[in-house]
């Protein structure tokens, strides 16, 4: 038996696997995975000091015969995790969802659809990790490889039948899904994001494509791909078992949608798949949500659901931080959305501009220590649609908020009404205070997040809560019911 097969068998027999040297206990297997900043080989001495019985690395370690050489440690970690947790024999279907925008919304639609259809469902995504009896805070959109295998094993024990997994480009590039059999892959769209990590858009696209690479398991059932997106059309030429979906006729999809009606109350969508036609309605507004609904139905068709099952979507409620309407008095309309890319801002602004609001105000900022190149583009997206702009901080991280704002401002050049306020809390108060009857405010960028990260520290901060505080403050300091005073000037 080779050294690699021996250590793989040890994991199968119950020997613990670790990729964090600080968690190693005597007898464990430590895998030295290359990181984005530090190679895992740097932690081999600590793992050995803590009693690691085996070390898997991509190069030899001087004087150490317990090091097993594997050319791709991240793949080795997935194989060892699969052996240790038994995730190669899952009864559930795993649906991976990737794309720049729409992953979370699509996962929520799918969770609702399959729950209504009688399935026990698990979701691993940006908002949280959840399945029957379990709700965990999400540290990252996609868990690391060991956590992912551990949670799938826990879901198996809880009788979960289908899991919807948001697969970020970072996770796919770093092989966090190694050892997992993905049965259905979903591609929503691709637009500029994460170019602080990926060297260019092509590199970003190549990372997304990894979800659709064929495996030896033979368990892959289908690729659900947005043909309205140019990158989706490229992917559809290479991916296996494609069900293309879309609203356009330029590249006729197998699952065709037509937006019949759109209002503040939601959308009505006419759908056709092969020779079958049906209509569905849903409370989610906007063309981008019509595409998300098509993606979810594509997964449903792939896994045996049909038009009759899709009718439950008319009762789908709001999704945390995704064009989520905040309860407010009178005739004012305030929405919170996670949009933090140019394309996402464009989509949500278009969705709201398509509704009969007298004016649209948009409050937004850009995250610090991230792709600076998208900042002007985000400004241009807002400037194209907003009547009033409030430019503020998002998560500045270690950057000076004023410097981030200066990067955004050229994209807003020429807009007649730009209000700059770096303090997001104060900016929300000012934006809410100017809102009049029949007008709408979009507070974009943070969505469901309950913190603001400044200088490496996460401070409690929820856009929805801050909006409610602003509404209450203004109610207590005006003689008129809120929403009756003059709007923006």
C-alpha to C-alpha distance for 379 and 420, rounded to whole angstroms:
12
Q: Indicate the residue among 29, 64, 85 that finishes a domain.
A: 85
pLDDT at 217 over 90: no
CB 82 within 8 A of CB 74: no
| Residues 207 and 338 placed together within one structural domain of the fold | no
Question: How does pLDDT run across 292-338, given as a tens digit for each residue?
Answer: 999 999 999 999 999 999 999 999 999 999 999 998 887 789 999 99
pLDDT of 65 higher than 50? yes
Over residues 127-150, the pLDDT tens digits come to: 999 999 999 999 999 999 999 999
What are the helix and strand counts (H, E) for the chain?
15, 23
* Residue 426 CB contacts under 8 Å (≥ 6 apart), including other chains: none
Are residues 458 and 349 located together in one domain of the fold?
Answer: yes
Coil, strand or helix: which one is 335? strand
Quickly tell me which residue has 């996962």 as its tokens.
Answer: 107
Identify the burial level of 151 via C-beta atoms within 10 angstroms of its C-beta, where 0-12 means exposed, 13-18 middle and 19 or more buried: buried
pLDDT score recorded for residue 195: 86
What percentage of residues in the chain have a pLDDT greater than 90?
85
Whether the per-residue pLDDT at 482 is higher than 70: the answer is no
Q: What is the pLDDT of residues 354-394, one digit of tens each?
A: 888 999 999 999 999 999 999 999 999 999 999 999 999 99
pLDDT of res. 46: 95
CATH number of the domain where residue 295 is located = 3.40.1190.10
Per the domain annotation, does 484 fall within a domain?
no
> Does the pLDDT of residue 242 top 70, yes or no?
yes
Report the C-alpha gap between 434 and 388 in whole angstroms.
Answer: 10
Q: Compute the chain's Rg from CA coordinates.
A: 24
Lowest mean pLDDT among 17-26, 77-86, 145-154, 208-217: 208-217
* Cα–Cα distance list, 198 to 74, 98, 170, 253 (Å): 18, 16, 9, 30
**403 and 338, same domain (yes or no):** yes
Give the tens place of pLDDT for each residue, 383-428.
999 999 999 999 999 999 999 999 999 999 999 999 999 999 999 9
Domain boundary among 315, 334, 356: 315
Whether 286 and 142 share a structural domain: yes
- Residue 154: exposure state from Cβ atoms within 10 A (0-12, 13-18, ≥19): middle
Whether residue 139 is found in the same domain as residue 221 = yes
What is the CATH number for 466? Answer: 3.90.190.20
Q: Which CATH number goes with the domain that contains 50?
A: 3.40.1390.10
Per-residue confidence (pLDDT) for residue 105, from 0 to 100:
97
Do 69 and 114 reside in the same domain of the chain?
no
Number of structural domains in the chain:
3
Model confidence at 273: pLDDT above 70: yes
Residues 149 and 61 in one domain: no
Q: What are the pLDDT digits (tens) for 90-111?
A: 999 999 999 999 999 999 999 9
Asked whether residue 334 falls in the same domain as residue 254, the answer is: no
Q: What is the pLDDT of residue 481?
A: 45
Position 487 in a domain: no
Neighbours of 26 (CB within 10 A): 8
Span 284-294, pLDDT tens digits: 999 999 999 99
Residue 308 in tokens: 């009759």
pTM, two decimals, is 0.91
Task: Tell me: do 61 and 203 sit in the same domain.
Answer: no
Rounded CA separation 282/28 (Å)? 50
Residue 215 domain-assigned?
yes
Is 93 found in the same domain as 79? no
Asked whether residue 252 is assigned to any structural domain, the reply reads yes
The whole domain housing 172 covers 87-315
Q: Which of 37-41, 460-464, 474-478 has the lowest mean pLDDT?
A: 474-478
Q: Within this chain, do residues 72 and 185 fall inside the same structural domain, yes or no?
A: no
- Beta-carbon contacts of 239 under 8 Å, excluding residues fewer than 6 positions away, are 185, 187, 209, 212, 223, 225
Helix axes 73-85, 145-157, angle to 10 degrees: 20
Query: Does residue 482 lie in a domain region?
Result: no
What pLDDT is recorded for position 484?
41
From residue 125, how far is each of 92, 106, 129 by CA, in Å?
17, 11, 6
pLDDT at residue 486 greater than cutoff 60: no
Among 62, 85, 108, the domain-final residue is 85
Residue with tokens 């494509």: 209
Q: Is there a single domain that holds both residue 204 and residue 155?
A: yes
Work out the pLDDT band at 1, boundaries 50, 70, 90: low
pLDDT digits (tens, 9 = 90+) for 255-270: 999 999 888 789 999 9
pLDDT in tens, 30-47: 999 998 889 999 999 999
- Residue 486 domain-assigned (yes or no): no
Q: pLDDT exceeding 70 applies to what percent of the chain? A: 97
């Amino acid at each position: 038996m080779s050294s690699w097969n021996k250590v793989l068998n040890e994991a199968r027999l119950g020997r613990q696997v670790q990729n964090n040297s600080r968690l190693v206990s005597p007898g464990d297997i430590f895998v030295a995975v290359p990181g984005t900043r530090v190679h895992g080989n740097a932690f081999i001495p600590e793992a050995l000091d803590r009693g690691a019985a085996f070390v898997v690395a991509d190069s030899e370690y001087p004087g150490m015969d317990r090091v097993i050489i594997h050319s791709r440690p991240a793949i080795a970690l997935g194989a060892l995790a699969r052996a240790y947790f038994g995730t190669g024999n899952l009864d559930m279907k795993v649906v991976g969802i990737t794309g720049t925008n729409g992953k979370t919304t699509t996962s929520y639609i799918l969770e609702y659809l399959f729950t209504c259809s009688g399935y026990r469902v698990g979701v691993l995504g940006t908002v949280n990790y959840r399945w029957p009896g379990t709700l965990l805070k999400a540290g990252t959109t996609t868990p690391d490889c060991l956590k992912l295998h551990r949670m799938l094993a826990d879901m198996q024990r809880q009788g979960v039948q289908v899991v919807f997994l948001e697969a970020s480009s970072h996770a796919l590039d770093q092989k966090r899904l190694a050892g997992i059999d993905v049965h259905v892959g979903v591609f929503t769209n691709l637009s500029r994001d994460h170019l602080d990590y990926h060297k260019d858009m092509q590199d970003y696209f190549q990372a997304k494509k990894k979800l659709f690479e064929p495996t030896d398991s033979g368990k892959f059932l289908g690729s659900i791909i947005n043909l309205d997106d140019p990158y989706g059309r490229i992917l559809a030429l290479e991916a296996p078992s494609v069900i293309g979906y879309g609203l356009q006729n330029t590249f006729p999809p197998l699952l065709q949608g037509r937006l019949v009606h759109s209002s503040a109350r939601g959308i009505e969508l006419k759908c056709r798949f092969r020779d079958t036609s049906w209509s569905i309605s849903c409370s989610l507004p906007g063309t981008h949500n019509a595409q998300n609904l098509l993606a979810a139905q594509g997964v449903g068709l792939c896994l045996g659901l049909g038009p009759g099952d899709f009718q439950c979507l008319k009762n789908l409620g709001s999704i945390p931080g995704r064009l989520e309407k905040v309860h407010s008095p009178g005739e004012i309309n305030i929405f919170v959305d996670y949009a933090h890319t140019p394309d996402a801002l464009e989509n949500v602004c278009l969705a709201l501009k398509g509704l009969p609001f007298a004016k649209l105000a948009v409050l937004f900022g850009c995250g610090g220590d991230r792709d600076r190149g998208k900042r002007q583009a985000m400004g241009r997206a807002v400037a194209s649609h907003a009547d009033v702009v409030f430019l503020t901080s998002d998560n500045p991280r270690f950057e000076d908020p004023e410097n981030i704002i200066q990067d955004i401002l050229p994209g807003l050049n020429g807009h007649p009404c730009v209000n700059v306020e770096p303090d997001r809390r104060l900016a929300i108060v000012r934006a809410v205070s100017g809102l009049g009857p029949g007008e709408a405010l979009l507070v974009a960028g943070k969505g469901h997040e309950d913190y603001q990260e400044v200088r490496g520290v996460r401070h409690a901060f929820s856009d929805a809560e801050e909006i409610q505080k602003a509404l209450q403050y203004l109610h207590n300091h005006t003689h008129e019911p809120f929403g009756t005073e003059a709007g923006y000037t």
